[in-house]
Chain A
């Protein structure tokens, strides 16, 4: 360095306005060589991969990629990341295939009892559930009040046995409750709400609850037709069990006062329900995928 200081500064030799000169600070060679190498690399890249846009098209490059599309046709095209994704997806599917082959020949219960298969269900089911079911049932199957049932508790509207869950997923469900607006007056509805709340030890007026009990089993309201004489619901038609702590349509747990809880239930009785719709998955998912989801959902709620 000290030697450099003694030197006159190097200039490019250009002079403007008589005395304005430009210092010459050449780049280090290692830097220049590195720069030229990146240029050479870039040229090689242009020849191999899609690079330059030209009018409505682009240079495709000489590199090719072979993949099999979803119709089973194997194609060789110029290199592109979409085909790469297809190829990688196929590889992943091929890895899952031995498991799916086994699922085809096993009953859901056998799958749930086999440690290896059950582990596969927990891992593969998580992504299958997230892609297809979580839009309504939420991530982890926790459900949403007033929208989609919680799958992690032990209350099953249409039954929690393997075959019932499998049927629910395959065919879908449509829950319906008629509106009682105009059929029952406000007091009758309050009595019915009190009767329902009395099952879970909510401090309601016992007289009113008793009247509700009578009304529930009478032909006037005829609640027992669907909800059963014991009010525990019927899995065949998916009518709710009214005696437990699980609520889907009337947000009773969030209501603070008894009056609010009554109102939540009365709202459902007044307007009925026509929105408990679960779509049919039979045509969208393969029978093996549905069987896998059956085991997964069964495991979520601890099963029945």
Chain B
């Protein structure tokens, strides 16, 4: 079509072949990876005793519309908890970002975890970076087929088990797994496993840092939240470059004093920081949008500095404010800022609110609505009657009897019809229609009142629902 040499709109992706590294940030990253994988992969297999429902610690029963999370049962009516949780997660992300930059990206994001795991597999199957680079250039032969093919097979298995595990949360794991393999599971299970297997394989095996750079919105908007006080992966430019730039270790330049005399920096240009980087950037060019703040270059550089006997911390977590000051001090958290404290306060308030709401949750859900067709009716003796529809959902594990009464009404005004104390079975909902009848001269006095719904099993389960009485004189 066109001249491909001169008209390439996008640069082709340069494959990133990372070198493994040792150090404290690598250890932390590995620990998070192991913990994260352990929780994700093992949680569906923890049994949990329940009177009704799936005997599994965490299970999302979509059919019954009940989410079991240990001893907590979440009903669709509680969906605002999820909204609350998302708010908290968002504020937590902002809070961490303003303090530590993209720490979430570097250590906790599932894209990072799975990519990291796939890189372990890659190194285990194919060897360290130079070996892998040689392998990549080499023509296809038996050895390459086994090593690369084997890597893909293991990647595929991990991806499949990732999708499978995700699905296992939506049923009783042993039963669901069995049914999955005999072809008896719901079609949604097969579609989800298929979709997640391939998206995991593609995202963690092949797209990797491109997800962070081009797909993920969080990475991009977190970058905007960096401030001069934020701890970011920083290359101390002045120390590394000196007056005349960085230079390798040759001859007398192996001594730090000589380097400084000749105006060279501490960076020996070994390139380790670039080789270990999972997103393929050179941190010495300064902070970049691709940096996921994982700290592997810090580990790499520190190891090299230690081996050549230079002070560590040429690359480190530091704030722009400190690193660029005339005399940089030891890096520290800049938490005494209005923004940080504000986020923290918001976090504490919201978390407390959510926890309080979950702890104080009633064992039943209710709604009371006035019947609006008709809004009110005149009785044969001239009284006015309003009717109300009460819905009760019993979320307790056993059947509960509910007593409905009203406060703030004259005696005899509440008409429950034939439905006195209503028995509601576990997980069931009932509807009760009740009437309130007032004499025309009482309407002014009893404009508002309260319905009282009381569980006869548990004294604590009681609600008072404020209601209004409508009539022609209410101006409706």
Which residues in A have some Cβ–Cβ distance to B below 8 Å?
Answer: 1, 3-4, 7, 10, 26, 109, 112-113, 115-116, 118-119, 122-123, 139-140, 142, 150, 152-155, 200, 241, 244-246, 253, 299, 302-303
The answer to whether A115 touches B379, judged by C-beta atoms less than 8 angstroms apart, is no
The answer to whether B2 touches A10, judged by C-beta atoms less than 8 angstroms apart, is yes
Asked if B415 is at the interface of the complex by the 8 Å CB criterion, the answer is yes
The answer to whether B378 touches A119, judged by C-beta atoms less than 8 angstroms apart, is no
Main secondary structure of the interface of B (DSSP, over half): loop
Question: Which B378-404 residues sit within 8 Å CB-CB of chain A?
Answer: 378-382, 385, 387, 389
The answer to whether B430 touches A245, judged by C-beta atoms less than 8 angstroms apart, is no
The answer to whether A112 touches B379, judged by C-beta atoms less than 8 angstroms apart, is no
Pick from A116, A253, A299: contact of B417, CB under 8 Å? A299
Which residues in B have some Cβ–Cβ distance to A below 8 Å?
Answer: 1-3, 6-7, 9, 371, 373-374, 377-382, 385, 387, 389, 415, 417-419, 422-425, 428-433, 435
The answer to whether A112 touches B380, judged by C-beta atoms less than 8 angstroms apart, is no
Shortest A235–chain B CB gap in Å is 13
CB-defined contacts of B424 to chain A, threshold 8 Å:
115
Interface centre among A7, A113, A302 (most CB of B within 10 A): A302
The answer to whether A155 touches B435, judged by C-beta atoms less than 8 angstroms apart, is no
The answer to whether A302 touches B380, judged by C-beta atoms less than 8 angstroms apart, is no
The complex places the Cα of A267 from the Cα of B371 at a distance, in Å, of 35
The answer to whether A152 touches B419, judged by C-beta atoms less than 8 angstroms apart, is no
The complex places the Cα of A115 from the Cα of B9 at a distance, in Å, of 69
Shortest A269–chain B CB gap in Å is 21
Q: Which chain A residue has the least Cβ–Cβ distance from B2?
A: A10
CB-defined contacts of B9 to chain A, threshold 8 Å:
1
Pick from B374, B423, B432: contact of A140, CB under 8 Å? B374
Pick from A119, A122, A152: contact of B374, CB under 8 Å? A152
The answer to whether A152 touches B377, judged by C-beta atoms less than 8 angstroms apart, is yes
Q: Which chain B residue has the least Cβ–Cβ distance from A110?
A: B418
The complex places the Cα of A142 from the Cα of B373 at a distance, in Å, of 7
The complex places the Cα of A10 from the Cα of B1 at a distance, in Å, of 9
New A-B contacts (10) at CB < 8 Å, excluding given A1-B9, A245-B380: A10-B2, A109-B418, A115-B422, A116-B425, A119-B432, A142-B377, A153-B377, A155-B379, A245-B379, A299-B433
The complex places the Cα of A241 from the Cα of B380 at a distance, in Å, of 9
The complex places the Cα of A4 from the Cα of B429 at a distance, in Å, of 66
22 residue pairs of the A-B complex, CB under 8 angstroms, read A3-B7, A7-B7, A112-B417, A115-B422, A116-B425, A116-B430, A118-B432, A119-B429, A119-B432, A122-B431, A122-B433, A152-B377, A152-B385, A152-B387, A153-B378, A154-B379, A155-B379, A244-B381, A245-B382, A246-B379, A302-B387, A302-B435
Q: Provided the pairs A152-B374, A302-B435 are in contact, do residues A113 and B418 lie with their beta carbons within 8 angstroms?
A: yes
Q: Which chain B residue has the least Cβ–Cβ distance from A140?
A: B373
Q: Provided the pairs A116-B425, A118-B431, A303-B418 are in contact, do residues A142 and B378 lie with their beta carbons within 8 angstroms?
A: no
The complex places the Cα of A253 from the Cα of B7 at a distance, in Å, of 85
The complex places the Cα of A213 from the Cα of B419 at a distance, in Å, of 42
The complex places the Cα of A134 from the Cα of B424 at a distance, in Å, of 31
Shortest A249–chain B CB gap in Å is 16
Shortest B467–chain A CB gap in Å is 17
Pick from A113, A118, A253, A302: contact of B430, CB under 8 Å? A118
The answer to whether B378 touches A245, judged by C-beta atoms less than 8 angstroms apart, is yes
Q: Which chain A residue has the least Cβ–Cβ distance from B433?
A: A299
The answer to whether B417 touches A119, judged by C-beta atoms less than 8 angstroms apart, is no
A-B pairs, top 3 by smallest CB distance, nearest first, are A140-B373, A244-B380, A115-B422
Q: Which chain A residue has the least Cβ–Cβ distance from B391?
A: A119
The complex places the Cα of A302 from the Cα of B412 at a distance, in Å, of 14
CB-defined contacts of B429 to chain A, threshold 8 Å:
119
Interface centre among B3, B419, B424 (most CB of A within 10 A): B419
Interface centre among A122, A123, A253 (most CB of B within 10 A): A122
Q: Which chain A residue has the least Cβ–Cβ distance from B372?
A: A140
The answer to whether A153 touches B7, judged by C-beta atoms less than 8 angstroms apart, is no
Pick from A115, A153, A155, A253: contact of B419, CB under 8 Å? A115
CB-defined contacts of A10 to chain B, threshold 8 Å:
2
Interface centre among B380, B385, B424, B432 (most CB of A within 10 A): B380
Shortest A203–chain B CB gap in Å is 16
Shortest B411–chain A CB gap in Å is 17
Q: Provided the pairs A3-B7, A10-B2, A153-B377 are in contact, do residues A302 and B417 lie with their beta carbons within 8 angstroms?
A: yes
CB-defined contacts of A118 to chain B, threshold 8 Å:
419, 430-432
The complex places the Cα of A244 from the Cα of B424 at a distance, in Å, of 39
Q: Provided the pairs A3-B7, A112-B417, A140-B371 are in contact, do residues A155 and B432 lie with their beta carbons within 8 angstroms?
A: no
Q: Which chain A residue has the least Cβ–Cβ distance from B371?
A: A140
Shortest B393–chain A CB gap in Å is 11
Shortest A242–chain B CB gap in Å is 11
Shortest B59–chain A CB gap in Å is 25
The complex places the Cα of A1 from the Cα of B380 at a distance, in Å, of 83
The complex places the Cα of A142 from the Cα of B371 at a distance, in Å, of 12
CB-defined contacts of B419 to chain A, threshold 8 Å:
112-113, 115, 118
The complex places the Cα of A148 from the Cα of B378 at a distance, in Å, of 16
